[in-house]
Amino acid sequence: MLTKKDLEKLADLSRMKIEEGEEEKLLHDLGGVLAHFEELKELPTDDVEPMNGGTSSLNVWRNDETTGALDGEAAKKEFPETKDGYLKVPAVFDASAD
């Protein structure tokens, strides 16, 4: 059973401010959550294998494979815009903003 002192400690740890008059409702709600976990403790789980992620698939990604890389000049030809031998990309930051 949670007390107001427990609730104050939890609020302090979570940096929450509890408004005046909310304590009783929060104590009731938290008590319900904890009661649910107490019910779950009674379930027989000896034959249940642990899960992670809700699936038995371990690795569904393809293996990395190296392929031929473009040389610099070929890459520049494939890029939409270049300037002075460099790849030109749209500005990310506004240079006029200080």
* pLDDT per residue as tens, the chain (98 positions): 889 999 999 999 999 999 989 999 999 999 999 999 999 999 999 998 887 777 777 777 888 888 888 788 888 888 899 889 888 998 888 777 65
Give the whole-angstrom CA distance, residue 21 versus residue 6. Answer: 16
43 with 20: CB under 8 angstroms? no
In a domain, 11, yes or no: yes
In a domain, 82, yes or no: no
In a domain, 9, yes or no: yes
4 with 23: CB under 8 angstroms? yes
In a domain, 24, yes or no: yes
In a domain, 90, yes or no: no
In a domain, 33, yes or no: yes
Q: Look up the pTM and report it.
A: 0.45
In a domain, 21, yes or no: yes
Find the domain containing 20 and state its range: 4-41
* HSE value, Cβ hemisphere, 13 Å, CA-based, for 45: 8
Domain count along the chain:
1
In a domain, 22, yes or no: yes
